[in-house]
Amino acid sequence: MPTITFIRPDGTQRELAVAEGTSLMQAATNQGLDGIVAECGGNAMCATCHVYVDEAWSERLPPLSDDEDALLDGAAAERLPTSRLSCQIIATAALDGLVVRLPDRQV
């Protein structure tokens, strides 16, 4: 089971064990991580699960879909080159050790 590190805006970290095949958004909300609102429940219809992927990991993820790209343009927090929707990042063994940062706001 991959371990994903979430870093809050204040710098505190929380490591979550995420079952393979589960989105980071699902894992975060199921395990009570504050900072991911997930208003649409992971249907890629909002940007309230916006995260910043650590640069060392950004090239290891599948490319953005057109829908994810468009939604990130409307995110409440600043969009950065490593911005992704956590509902679109599915945990695999290859992502063990992934680090993502939470933006200062989601809505």
- Per-10-residue mean pLDDT, the chain, length 107: 97 98 97 94 93 95 95 96 97 98 94
Burial track 16-34 (b if 16+ CB lie within 10 A, e otherwise): bebeeebbbbbbbbeeebe
Q: Which domain holds residue 44?
A: 3-101
* Residue 106 is assigned to a structural domain of this protein: no
* Residue 84 is assigned to a structural domain of this protein: yes
Q: How many domains does the chain have?
A: 1
pLDDT of residue 107: 85
* Residue 107 is assigned to a structural domain of this protein: no
Nearest-angstrom CA–CA distance, 96 and 39: 26
In this prediction the pTM is 0.95
